[in-house]
Amino acid sequence: MMIYNFLKYIQWPGEQNSGEFVIGVIGEDAVFKTLTEWYGNKTRGDKNFVIKKFSSAGEVADCQLLYIGKAASSQFDQIQAKVQNTSTLTITDKSGLGEKGSCINFKVVDSRLKFELNQAAMERSKLKISSQLTAMAILI
């Protein structure tokens, strides 16, 4: 659910804010299943959500948001090389990946789920972040 909520606070450049909006998932079947059930082929505002599952870093292409689960975190560098210079919001769930270049990384702090926001990674991806999201994040 948090993944979808991030969409409210981030703006993609140009045409990517409407039309087909692709959310990719690699390394986490449960997240893929949930996103598909809740948002697959549904329209919210100006966006028609398409959920894609990738099995390897080599398959990753053409998505506005990419969730990289723990099972695929060993492929992070390969995935990062594929999405670099694109406006792809990368979201991870493993300690250290925020510092390594993920736009958003989930982290447990004092038994609570929090998220890190890598501002340099967001800028490289040409994504604009709401100050509300920045205020809720652990900034890197």
Residue 63's domain comprises: 2-10+17-139
Specify the DSSP class assigned to residue 29.
H
CB atoms inside a 10 Å sphere around CB 137: 19
The pTM assigned to this predicted structure is 0.92
Position 17 confidence tier, pLDDT thresholds 50, 70, 90: low
Give the angle subtended at the CA of 38 by the CAs of 56 and 34, to the nearest 5°: 45
Q: What is the pLDDT of residue 9?
A: 92
pLDDT tens profile 97-121: 999 999 999 998 899 999 999 999 9
* Domain total of the chain: 1
**Residue 118's domain is classified under what CATH number?**
3.40.50.2300
Structure-token pair, residue 20? 């087909």
- In a 3-state reduction of DSSP, which class is residue 66? strand
Residue 2 to residues 10, 124, 133, Cα–Cα distance (Å): 13, 22, 12
